[in-house]
């Protein structure tokens, strides 16, 4: 039995190698050629841009974060051989393609206005007050085209101009704040900071605050559960385990 368990773990280890200790040449079927800041490298076709750059010998300090599409660290600008168009992507969420010319944008030097949410009111004009550049939006849609999350960025900038907090919040909710929109914008708008401000304003002032949690906070503060806590925390392990099993049997499933 013990032997079988060892082999299971070893099999899992072997099967996972491509993302733990790295892909090996003997396992690779298809190759592509990419250009990292102009230099050509032959890399496995099955990798993401990020994995391919590592395969080529790059070790990231910047331009690499969560490696799962949530953090916006690995903004990448590329052009494909023979094409004129610059495209944008997250390096961890995009597969390499033959003939990609790649460069990463490690930092967006964008200005963020300082505000105190407690002192603001949900006036439409407040968006323009902190982000006056939005009035210069020329509706070119470059921000939308640059967005690696495929958000309708220009639409929420227009919504901000109308003072529609809800539309900005909905339209920008999945923003990972990579900064590519701001870097490409000819009107120097910092879309992702604008969106952050609008979402917080909408969350704080535009939606009804929840009641149950508030009530529970009051109950806890008033010591409502203290006696019961003292009781269950002084039970023997066996008594406590029985309570646990009983509770699991009355669980809400979905």
Partner 1 sequence: MAKLEFVGGYPTYMRESIELVERTRSKRIGKLPPQMTSKEREEILNLCHPDYAPGGKRAIKIGPNRGDIAPNEVADLLEAYPLIEPNKIDLSKADYETDILIVGGGLAGTSAALLANDSGIPVEKILLANKLRHGDANSMMAQGGTQAADRPNDSPIIHYIDAMGGGHFTNKPDVVRALVEDAPVVIKWLEGLGALFDKDADGNFVELTGGGTSRRRMHACADYTGMEELRVLRDEFRNREIPVLEFYPAIELLTDEENKVVGALLWNMETEEYKIVKSKATILATGGFGRLHIRGFPTTNHYGATYDGAVLAYRVGAKLRDTDTVQYHPTGAAYPQQIIGLLLTEKLRTSGAQPVNKDGEEFVFPLEPRDVEASAFIRECYIRNKGVTTPTGMKGIWLDTPLIDIINGKGRIEKSFPAMVRMFKRFGVDMIKDPVLVFPTLHYQNGGVETDPQCSTNIEGLFVAGEVSGGVHGKNRLMGNSTLDCVVFGRRSGIYSAEYVKKGVKIGKPGLKHVEKYVKMLKDAGIKTERRAPILMPDYRGKAVLARMIDIF
- Taking the CB of residue 180, how many other CB atoms lie within 10 A of it? 27
Q: Is 24 buried (19+), middle (13-18) or exposed (0-12) by CB count in 10 A?
A: exposed
CA–CA separation, 51 and 176 (whole Å): 20
Binding mask 186-225 for partner 1 (x = CB under 8 A): ----------xx-xxxxxx--xxxxxxxxxxx--x----x
> The tokens of 225 are what?
């559960």
Phi, psi of 35 (to 5 degrees): -120, 110
CB-wise, 65 or 184, nearer to partner 1? Answer: 65
CB-wise, 71 or 105, nearer to partner 1? Answer: 71
Is residue 244 within the footprint of partner 1 (CB under 8 A)? yes
Site for partner 1 in 64-123 (CB under 8 A): 64-71, 73, 93-95, 112, 114-117
CB-wise, 125 or 230, nearer to partner 1? Answer: 230
Among 129, 130, 233, 239, binds partner 1 (CB under 8 A): 233
Residue among 58, 158, 163 at smallest CA distance from 102: 58
Phi, psi of 90 (to 5 degrees): -95, 130
CA–CA separation, 231 and 39 (whole Å): 69
Among 15, 38, 121, 236, binds partner 1 (CB under 8 A): 15
CB-wise, 24 or 138, nearer to partner 1? Answer: 24
CB-wise, 185 or 198, nearer to partner 1? Answer: 198
Site for partner 1 in 142-171 (CB under 8 A): 149-150, 169
Among 58, 110, 161, 187, binds partner 1 (CB under 8 A): 58
List all residues 6 or more positions away from 168 whose beta carbon is below 8 Å from its beta carbon.
127, 156, 159, 160, 194, 195, 198, 199, 202
Is residue 62 within the footprint of partner 1 (CB under 8 A)? yes
CB-wise, 71 or 77, nearer to partner 1? Answer: 71
Among 35, 54, 145, 187, binds partner 1 (CB under 8 A): 54
Q: Which stretch binds partner 1 (CB under 8 A): 50-58, 123-131, 138-146, 181-189?
A: 50-58
């Amino acid at each position: 039995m013990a032997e079988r368990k060892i082999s299971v773990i070893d099999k899992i280890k072997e099967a996972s190698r491509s993302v733990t200790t790295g892909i090996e040449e003997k396992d690779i079927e298809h190759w592509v050629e990419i250009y990292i800041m102009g230099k050509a490298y032959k890399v496995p076709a099955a990798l993401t841009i990020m994995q391919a750059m590592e395969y080529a010998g790059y070790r990231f300090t910047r331009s690499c974060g969560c490696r799962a599409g949530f953090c916006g660290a690995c903004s990448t600008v590329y052009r494909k051989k023979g094409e004129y168009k610059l495209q944008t992507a997250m390096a961890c969420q995009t597969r390499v393609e033959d003939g990609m010319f790649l460069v990463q944008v490690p930092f967006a030097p964008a200005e963020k206005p300082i505000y105190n949410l407690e002192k603001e009111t949900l006036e439409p004009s407040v968006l323009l007050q902190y982000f006056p550049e939005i009035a210069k939006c020329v509706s070119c849609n470059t921000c939308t085209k640059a967005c690696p999350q495929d958000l309708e960025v220009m639409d929420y900038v227009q919504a901000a101009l109308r003072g529609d907090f809800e539309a900005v919040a909905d339209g920008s909710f999945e923003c990972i704040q990579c900064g590519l929109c701001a870097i490409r914008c000819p009107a120097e708008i910092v879309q992702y900071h604008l969106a952050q401000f609008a979402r917080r304003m909408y969350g704080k002032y535009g939606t009804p605050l929840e009641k149950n949690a508030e009530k529970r906070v009051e109950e806890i503060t008033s010591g409502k559960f203290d006696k019961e806590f003292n009781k269950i925390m002084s039970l023997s392990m066996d008594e406590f385990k029985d309570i646990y099993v009983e509770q699991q049997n009355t669980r809400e499933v979905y």
